[in-house]
Amino acid sequence: MTDAAHLLRLYDEQLRTEAETPNAVSVARLGPLRLATFDGGRGFVTYPHLGGADADAIERLVAEALEHYRADPAISRVEWKTRGHDHAPGLHEALVRNGFVPDDPESIMVGEISDALAADVPLPAGVTLRRVTTEHDVRAMSAMAAEAFGDSDSREVADALLRRLGLGTGMELWVAEAGGEMVGAGRLEPVAGSDFAGLWGGAVLMPWRKRGIYRALTAARARSALAGGKTLVHSDSTEYSRPILERSGLVKVSTTTPYMWRR
Question: Do the Cβ atoms of 141 and 259 come closer than 8 Å?
Answer: no
Region for 6 from its dihedrals, namely left if φ exceeds 0, alpha if ψ lies in -120 to 50, beta otherwise = alpha
Looking at the fold, whether 46 and 73 belong to one and the same domain comes out as yes
**Mean pLDDT, rounded, for 74-98:** 97
Which percentage of the chain shows pLDDT scores above 70? Answer: 99
Q: Domain ends where: 106, 140, 174?
A: 106
Looking at the fold, whether 138 and 32 belong to one and the same domain comes out as no
Number of neighbouring beta carbons within 10 Å of residue 86: 15
* Tally of domains within the chain: 2
Task: Please give the pLDDT value at position 158.
Answer: 93
Question: What is the domain-level CATH number for residue 205?
Answer: 3.40.630.30
Task: Please give the pLDDT value at position 154.
Answer: 84
Looking at the fold, whether 41 and 73 belong to one and the same domain comes out as yes
Q: How confident is the model at residue 83 (pLDDT cuts 50, 70, 90)?
A: very high
Range of the domain at 28: 4-106
Task: Please give the pLDDT value at position 1.
Answer: 46
- Does residue 78 sit within a domain? yes
- Does residue 246 sit within a domain? no
Q: Domain ends where: 76, 106, 136?
A: 106
Looking at the fold, whether 147 and 184 belong to one and the same domain comes out as yes
Looking at the fold, whether 160 and 199 belong to one and the same domain comes out as yes
Looking at the fold, whether 128 and 26 belong to one and the same domain comes out as no
- Does residue 238 sit within a domain? no
pTM: 0.92
- Does residue 162 sit within a domain? yes
Looking at the fold, whether 79 and 177 belong to one and the same domain comes out as no
Q: How confident is the model at residue 2 (pLDDT cuts 50, 70, 90)?
A: low
Question: Do the Cβ atoms of 250 and 233 come closer than 8 Å?
Answer: yes
- Does residue 249 sit within a domain? no
**Mean pLDDT, rounded, for 110-131:** 94
Please determine, for residue 201, whether its predicted confidence score (pLDDT) is greater than 60: yes
Please determine, for residue 72, whether its predicted confidence score (pLDDT) is greater than 90: yes
**Mean pLDDT, rounded, for 19-28:** 91
Question: What is the domain-level CATH number for residue 101?
Answer: 3.40.630
Please determine, for residue 228, whether its predicted confidence score (pLDDT) is greater than 80: yes
DSSP 3-state assignment of 200? strand
What rounded mean pLDDT belongs to the chain?
95
**Mean pLDDT, rounded, for 18-39:** 93
Looking at the fold, whether 20 and 82 belong to one and the same domain comes out as yes
DSSP string, 83-123: ETTS--TTHHHHHHHTT-EE---EEEEEEE--HHHH---PP
Looking at the fold, whether 119 and 175 belong to one and the same domain comes out as yes
Looking at the fold, whether 68 and 101 belong to one and the same domain comes out as yes
Each residue of 186-197: pLDDT tens digit? 999 999 999 999
Looking at the fold, whether 161 and 90 belong to one and the same domain comes out as no
Looking at the fold, whether 139 and 192 belong to one and the same domain comes out as yes
Each residue of 125-179: pLDDT tens digit? 999 999 999 999 999 999 999 999 988 778 889 998 999 899 888 999 999 999 9
Task: Please give the pLDDT value at position 156.
Answer: 87
DSSP string, 7-76: HHHHHHHHHSSGGG-TT-SEEEEETTEEEEEETTTEEEEE-S--TT--HHHHHHHHHHHHHHHHT-TT--
**Mean pLDDT, rounded, for 31-53:** 95
Dihedral angle of Cα 112, 110, 50, 191, to the nearest 10 degrees: 60
Q: Domain ends where: 38, 73, 106?
A: 106
- Does residue 250 sit within a domain? no
